[in-house]
Amino acid sequence: MKTTIIRVPEMTMEDFADKHNLHMVVTERKVPDGVKDRFYARFEHVEISEGCILRGAYGDGVSPEAAIYAYGEAISLKKIIYDAMGKNRKEIEVPRIVRGAE
């Protein structure tokens, strides 16, 4: 039997951001060291599309890296909108975001 397996595209967060010229912003909250939501990450000017609704999304983490990874999980396999109300609007289908080599 011949079998063709069609996989969902995968990409690291870094490669995805570079491909679409997106700028990651990681912000530290004013909380003590060790708080699990000390940092949050998001792409600047990006929202998630849920049908006709746009909503913001971000990833929380104890470190900037953890927040970026959490954000990758939040946007993975979703449609994001860059500059939703602006002249540079782009709709982007997000592949499965995977961790790069560590």
In a domain, 2, yes or no: no
The residue segments making up the domain with residue 55 are 10-98
Could you give the strand order of the β-sheet that contains 53-55, starting from the edge strand earlier in sequence?
53-55, 46-50, 79-82, 90-93
Q: What total of structural domains would you count in the chain?
A: 1
Q: Would 15 be classed as within a structural domain?
A: yes
Query: Does residue 1 belong to any structural domain of this protein?
Result: no
Q: What is the mean pLDDT of each run of 10 residues along the chain (102 residues)?
A: 95 96 96 86 97 94 94 97 95 93 54
- pLDDT for 101: 56
14: in domain? yes
> Radius of gyration over alpha carbons of the chain, in Å?
15
26, part of any domain: yes
pLDDT number for residue 3: 97
Residues recorded for the chain? 102
> Does residue 5 form part of some domain?
no
Residues contacting residue 76 through CB under 8 Å, at least 6 positions apart: 94, 95, 96, 97
Closest CA to 48 of 18, 78, 14, 4: 78
Global pTM reads: 0.88
